[in-house]
Amino acid sequence: MTQPKVFDLFPTPLYVNQYDGDTTDIINYFEQQEMHAANGPYGVISKNNYVLDGIPKEHPFVQWLKDCFRQYATELMRYDYEDIEFSQSWLTYKEPGQFHKAHTHPNSLLAGVFYYDHEPGDASIVFSRENKSFNRPYLEPKLLQDHQEHKYSQEEIYFTPEKNTFIIFPSWMMHGVPPNNTNKTRKALGVNIMTKGVFGDPQTITEIDYARFTK
């Protein structure tokens, strides 16, 4: 038998970058934020869900976050856009034993997580293949025991970041956090973005002109 060729169709990029600047003042600001419990065992979030709005726009950390988003949007996804803007940004804590179920980020284009207080052994982030079990509209074969070791049959992919790592992924990507099995709080900054000016394309009848809704 001849050796077959296998091609990756429509891969989804997970962007990973690491901030090498001083985060002392940023973390001090984060630690001043008031937190409250989320629904169920899903952890603790900041009452302020526009946390980055409290940091000067010219701060190197804020500029770096935006540059990362721009790099993802332009160089990886080839989006045609005026600029990007943070929509919501919030702190998320996972106390020992807490987790976050698989979810997406509706009403945003890209999502990012900055791990400013991450230590070895802390819970990873887990990305899940889209679940279509409701009404089960497709064939569902039994998988071999080693299916998680092969990229085309994986159902979940665990990514373990390092401290000051920033990751970006499409907001529609299903993701969650496994239980925190350490004795410390897992802390991170979540960020959503949208494009500024006009979103979509008038020629394909997908345009949203934000200015029309502010008149």
- pLDDT tens, residue by residue, 58-108: 999 999 999 999 999 999 999 999 999 999 999 999 999 999 999 999 999
Check if the beta carbon of residue 161 is closer than 8 Å to that of residue 16.
yes
pLDDT of 135: 57
Task: Name the β-bridge partners of 158.
Answer: 126
Average pLDDT over residues 48-57: 97
Dist CA 199 CA 87 (whole Å): 14
Residue type at 150 in one-letter notation:
H
Residue type at 149 in one-letter notation:
E
| Structure tokens belonging to residue 140 | 């569902």
Entry pTM = 0.93
| Domains of the chain, each with CATH number or no CATH | 15-132+152-213 (2.60.120.620)
Alpha-carbon Rg for the chain, nearest whole angstrom, is 19
pLDDT digits (tens, 9 = 90+) for 164-196: 999 999 999 999 999 999 999 999 999 999 999
